[in-house]
Amino acid sequence: MAVSSVPAGPSFDEIRRAPKALLHDHLDGGLRPATILDLAAGIGHELPAATPEGLGEWFVAAADSGSLERYLTTFAHTVAVMQTADALHRVARECALDLARDGVVYAEVRFAPEQHLERGLSLPEVVEAVLDGFRAGSAEAAEQGTPIRVGTLLTAMRHAARSMEIAELSIRYRDAGVVGFDIAGAEAGYPPTRHLDAFEYLQRENSHFTIHAGEAFGLPSIWQALQWCGADRLGHGVRIVDDIGPDNALGRLAAYVRDKRIPLELCPSSNVQTGAAASIREHPIGLLRDLRFRVTVNTDNRLMSGTSMSREMALLVEAFGYGWPELQWFTVNAMKSAFIPFDERLALINDVIKPAYAKLT
């Protein structure tokens, strides 16, 4: 008797070799565990584990907390070792190399300059060290045959009061590698409208920004981010499903998000860890894709989730049975939603992404 078998989806290794685009990745959430150990030893910072494997496991377990607030406490250890120009340069260089090795051809990596001033660096020194590190890592990646373009987003912390300064910093460095602005941190109790002056300033400067919204808090946060602050994209935005009824009827906000093609920077593993989704299989990404929202797949924090772009895609292949057409769609969606100029986005889509997926499908 012939055994019929379901054709297997793309394997992890095939996904790794396919070009991918990443819009939501935190620099201080993606350090190599060995680098944290090395940098911590140099400054006498005490860590909860003594080996790279042990430390990697500690981050994932500690971040697996069911709450965004507890998840965010793990960043104390990464931010602590990123307080000198050398350390920032190293972390940024390694980030570009790690993403390139994972097959990411375009990445927007974000971090909060205001969190790196503990040992005397100024805000411009922080930004320059990171931009230099990305340049060095990207140049090495190109030499190794895995070219990557890295754009930087400057994040302001939503509980703090420096968003205007950080917005100005993003404009000062807009021609040197900074492609946009973001706000992050605990969501409940810190609505994005606290930073309205910064967003209005950025709009007047014809700049781009995304806002973490609809992750730990629901629709009001998404509505404010879009209709008060003017965000170009939503960091997570996963709770937009709260505005989708039975029979998939869209409420006015969900309809607006879909009609205006507002990009959703979805981060499946991170959402499971913070409790925004019960499991990958139950993650709203399946529904949002079926309804043709502008869905993108992202890592958020590779260290805290023990993940990579390839792993996030492989998890979706496993959970939802996706094949190359869906993975290409996510990748093109991300590229269309990037903050670099239109002609550069188009070049990556037409010259890099589409030809590679054409060979795979």
Q: Which is nearer to Zn ion, 243 or 300 (CB)?
A: 300
Q: In this structure, what token pair is assigned to residue 140?
A: 């090495």
Task: Using the rule CB under 6 A, give the single segment among 106-114, 224-232, 242-250, 287-295 that binds ligand NOS.
Answer: 106-114
Task: Using the rule CB under 6 A, give the single segment among 67-75, 81-89, 219-227, 319-327 that binds ligand NOS.
Answer: 67-75
CA distances from 266 to 22, 77, 162, 331 (A): 10, 25, 26, 12
Give catalytic status of residue 344 as yes or no: no
Question: x/- contact string, 173-212, with ligand NOS (CB under 6 A)?
Answer: -----------xx--------------------------x
CA 27 to chain CA centroid, Å, is 9
111 lies in the site for ligand NOS, by CB under 6 A: yes
300 lies in the site for Zn ion, by CB under 5 A: yes
Closest distance to ligand NOS from the beta carbon of 72 (Å):
5
133: burial class by Cβ within 10 Å (0-12, 13-18, 19+)? buried
d(CA 323, CA 209): 31
Q: Which does 299 bind (CB under 5 to 8 A by kind): Zn ion, ligand NOS, none?
A: none
Listed in sequence order, the residues at least 6 apart from 150 whose beta carbon sits closer than 8 Å to its beta carbon are 95, 96, 99, 107, 108, 109, 134, 137, 138, 177
Q: Which is nearer to Zn ion, 187 or 300 (CB)?
A: 300
Binders of ligand NOS in range 11-30 (CB under 6 A): 26, 28-29
Q: In this structure, what token pair is assigned to residue 209?
A: 């920004």
Residues that bind ligand NOS (rule: CB under 6 A) add up to a total of 19
d(CA 184, CA 179): 17
Cβ(274)–Cβ(65) under 8 Å? yes
Closest distance to Zn ion from the beta carbon of 280 (Å):
17
| 283 annotated as ligand-binding | no
Closest distance to ligand NOS from the beta carbon of 73 (Å):
9
Question: x/- contact string, 302-341, with ligand NOS (CB under 6 A)?
Answer: ----------------------------------------
Q: In this structure, what token pair is assigned to residue 32?
A: 């190599």
Q: What is the rounded radius of gyration, in angstroms, for the C-alpha atoms of the chain?
A: 19
Question: x/- contact string, 31-50, with ligand NOS (CB under 6 A)?
Answer: --------------------
187 lies in the site for Zn ion, by CB under 5 A: no
| 26 annotated as ligand-binding | yes
CA distances from 51 to 38, 58, 179 (A): 10, 10, 36
Listed in sequence order, the residues at least 6 apart from 94 whose beta carbon sits closer than 8 Å to its beta carbon are 31, 32, 35, 137
Closest distance to ligand NOS from the beta carbon of 71 (Å):
7
Concatenating the DSSP letter of every residue in 190-232 gives: --GGGGHHHHHHHHHTT--EEEEESSSS-HHHHHIIIIIT--S
Q: Which residues bind Zn ion (CB under 5 A)?
A: 300
Active site residues: 215
State the residues that interact with ligand NOS by CB under 6 A: 26, 28-29, 68, 72, 75, 79, 110-112, 115, 155, 184-185, 212, 215, 270, 300-301
